[in-house]
Amino acid sequence: MDRSPRPGCATCALTSFRITGRTTQQDNEAIARHLMDRHRIFTVRRAGPPAGDCVRVTPALFTGTADLDRFAAALRETARRFTAAGG
């Protein structure tokens, strides 16, 4: 039995991101915590490739475009916050 979705009808995504200069485990745990505490967006810190740790976000089948727009706005705010002096 093929459990793959039919093309174009049900898909999801998996992506990771890194904020410039924030490559440590501590940095990325703080970023994930900030996204949850301030924006109620669940992400996880992942040990990254040689360039350093990163944060993973996994939209699901039920994630709508409004949710993605909210995530994009939250990510912009988070990037500004974590590229500023603090974190």
Model pLDDT for residues 30-44, shown as the tens digit of each residue:
999 999 999 999 999
How far apart are the C-alpha atoms of 38 and 27, rounded to whole Å?
A: 16
Whole-model pTM?
A: 0.79
Would the pLDDT of 6 be above 80? Answer: no
3 state SS of 54 = strand
Domain ranges for the chain: 15-81
Q: What's the pLDDT band for 10 if we cut at 50, 70, 90?
A: low
CB 18 within 8 A of CB 54: yes
- What the block records as the tokens of 54 is 């990163």
Would the pLDDT of 3 be above 60? Answer: no
69-78 pLDDT, tens digit each: 999 999 999 9
Would the pLDDT of 68 be above 80? Answer: yes
CB 10 within 8 A of CB 62: no
Please report, to the nearest 10 degrees, the dihedral formed by the alpha carbons of residues 68, 72, 78, 81 taken in order.
-160
Q: Answer with the residue of higher pLDDT: 7 or 4.
A: 7
